[in-house]
Structure 1
Amino acid sequence: MFRLNCFRVQVYQMLEPTAWPRPGLSPVNRGISVVILAATATAVIESEPTILDGREWAFRAVELFFTSIFVLEYVARIWVAGEDPRYQGAVGRMKYAFTPAAIIDLLSVSPLLLTFLGTEAFLLRLFRLLRILRVARLGRFSRAFEAISTALHSRRYELLMSVGLAAMLLLISSTILYMIEGNAQPDAFGSIPRTMWWSIATLTTVGYGDVYPTTSLGQFFAGLTAITGIGLIAMPTGILAAAFSDAIQMQRTANSSETISSEDT
């Protein structure tokens, strides 16, 4: 039992980036990162019919190989989760299984099994695209992602405020253009939901040009909406820029602390 516990601790240190006692990633996590990138690249290449045709067996074998590795890793992470005080015992492991990182791990191994259940082409394509989620798993291996996540969380109220303001402006602009252009262009502006497509394209400054007001009053309010959209885009952009700046500063501070600690030892 003692040897088993020691082995579990070693596996935990290999799989959990924060538990690895040396700088950088453990050899196991480096290998997993390479496998994630290779599996993601395979999923992207497989979407090209000219490459897939006649080679389905090869892609299926490669996918089976990748999935086997991810299943083994997922089971190992559940097994060693108890080394973290937050996830000790059976209840703790269940709690770990519902964390965002563990859910992404589970989704990364599900496509191969789900493809056998799907008969519609759309379902098959949807299940296969779940493999792209594997690239999100790289976030747990990077302290930069953790710093960015912390910085964004600290600015969550400002971001929510900008989202609420955007929703309000979207509704107001859609309502005004519906009232002005509804009779002139019922197909494009005949209802508030229809008008929202134009409002989204205008407020985000994309401006596809497939739908636009034709009356003078409608064009006047469209101009106001476009000008408002510039400020609307600038608001979350500034918030995100400040959050990323905070994340970079946090990362530099952490690296400096580690360097000082290593020099002292």
Structure 2
Amino acid sequence: MQQPDSQAASDYRVWRRRLYLMLEPTARQAPGLSITNRCIAGLILLATILTLLETEPVVRALAPSFFMTAEAALAMAFLVEYVGRVIAAGEDPRYRGWAGRLRFMASPWAIIDLLAILPFFLTMGAVNAFALRLLKLIRLLRLARLGRFSNAIGDLYRAVRGRRYELTVSLMVAGLLLVLTSSVIYVLEASHQPEAFGSIPRALWWSVATLTTVGYGDVTPVTPGGQVFAGLTAIVGIGMIAMPTGILAAAFSDAMQKRREQGEEHDND
């Protein structure tokens, strides 16, 4: 006859295994997310939308108590989820035992989970307005948690890592162009506009805005030579932006193609 303590331990392990399968996407054999994780993803999006709406004074004035009530409910839901993930982590051999649970709590995703719920519990008391707004911004980290549910995030990471050499070269070219263009425009415009172009660091702002094709227009050359050079810089900026964009697009396309091929092989098997 099985002892009560051993029966309770066995029931706990079964419950923990079910919890692990509900919360850990990599533990599922079936494709897609579990119903639990779909609900969590929905709550993350809802919490982010409420955070954005709350910053609008007109919307907040319509229902001043609604946002606090909704935030309290969401904070409790995410706290339950966080505790559940810490408990379920014991199913992973890396996180078994108390030391393993501490390692799990120190992992990047677990830290983001904790930072996402801390602001509510830290700002329930008297806090100055600036600190309150600053802490509430941390709630937007909830949206980042969706990355654990998306294979596309992993594909993007592998794509960037696979093309890190090309991206590094493009960043070096971009840095060289920034220094070069700011130096030239400094020579051409410094005597006419010392406030905007009186030094290379001052001219660097113009170079950033022009090379990225943003073109705020707050600082513009007035000399003929400066205007001609500004036009050339804007044209070069198109290529500078297109280079890393093309590298990332090609890498991401290759990663998605590999995923489709793997999916077809899995279906054939």
TM-score by length of 1: 0.90
Aligned residues of 1:144 and 1:251 also touching (Cα < 8 A) = no
Matched residue, 1:145: 153
Shift in CA distance, 125/13, structure 1 to aligned 2, threshold 3 Å: same
How far 1:207 moved relative to its partner? 1.3
Query: Tell me, which stretches of 5 or more residues in structure 1 are unaligned?
Result: none
> What is the distance in 2 between the residues matched to 1:115 and 1:161?
45
> Any residues of structure 2 matched to 1:34-73 within 5 Å, and which?
34-53=42-61, 55-73=63-81
Matched AA of 1:254: Q
State the alpha-carbon separation in 2 of the partners of residues 93 and 154 from structure 1: 32
Match of 1:252 among 247, 254, 260: 260
Matching residue of 1:124: 132
Equivalent pairs counted in the alignment come to 261
Matched, 1:24 2:17: no
Aligned mates of 2:236, 2:123 — CA distance in 1: 46
Work out which of the residue numbers 212, 225, 230 in structure 1 matches 2:220: 212
**CA distance change for structure 1 residues 117 and 212 in 2, over 3 Å: closer, same or farther?**
farther
Instruction: Tell me, yes or no, if the aligned pair for 1:202 and 1:229 is still in contact at 8 Å.
Output: yes
Amino acid at match of 1:59: F
SS in 1 for 2:255: helix
Report the counterpart of residue 90 of structure 2 in structure 1. Answer: 82
CA–CA distance in 1 between the matches of 2:264 and 2:214? 42
Alignment of 1:227-238 (within 5 A): 227-238=235-246
Across the aligned residues of Structure 1 and Structure 2, the Cα RMSD in angstroms comes to 2.0
Worse overlay, 84-93 or 125-134? 84-93
What letter corresponds to residue 227 of structure 1 in structure 2? I
Offset at 1:28?
Answer: 0.9
Gaps of 5+ in 2: 1-8
Q: 2: CA distance between counterparts of 1:100 and 1:196?
A: 35
Quote the Cα distance in structure 1 between the aligned partners of 2:178 and 2:83: 46
| Equivalent residue number for residue 136 of structure 1 | 144
Query: Structure 1: how far apart are the matches of 2:25 and 2:76?
Result: 22
Match in the other structure for 2:204: 196
Aligned-pair distance for 1:118?
7.5
The answer on whether the counterparts of 1:108 and 1:131 sit within 8 Å (CA) in structure 2 is yes
Q: TM-score normalized by structure 2? A: 0.88
Decide whether the 8 Å contact of 1:147 with 1:250 is kept in 2. Answer: no
SS of alignment partner, residue 10 of structure 1: helix
For 1:147 and 1:233, the matched residues in 2 are separated by 22
Find the residue that maps to 1:40 and give its secondary structure.
helix
Structure 1 match to 2:20:
12
**Structure 1 stretch displaced more, 152-161 or 134-143:** 152-161
Q: What SS does the aligned partner of 1:206 have?
A: coil
Contact 1:171/1:196, CA 8 A, preserved across alignment: yes
Question: Structure 2: how far apart are the matches of 1:229 and 1:193?
Answer: 19
Query: What is the deviation of 1:137?
Result: 1.3
CA distance in 1: counterparts of 2:136 and 2:30, whole angstroms: 36
Cα separation, 2, equivalents of 1:90 and 1:161: 45
What is the Cα deviation at residue 48 of structure 1? 1.5
User: Is the Cα–Cα contact under 8 Å of residues 143 and 251 in structure 1 kept in the other structure?
Assistant: no
Which residue does the alignment assign to 2:164? 156
In structure 2, relative to structure 1, the CA distance for the partners of 1:98 and 1:178 (3 Å cut) is farther
SS class of match (2:135): helix
Moved more, 162-171 or 29-38: 162-171
Contact 1:205 1:230 (C-alpha < 8 Å) held by counterparts = yes
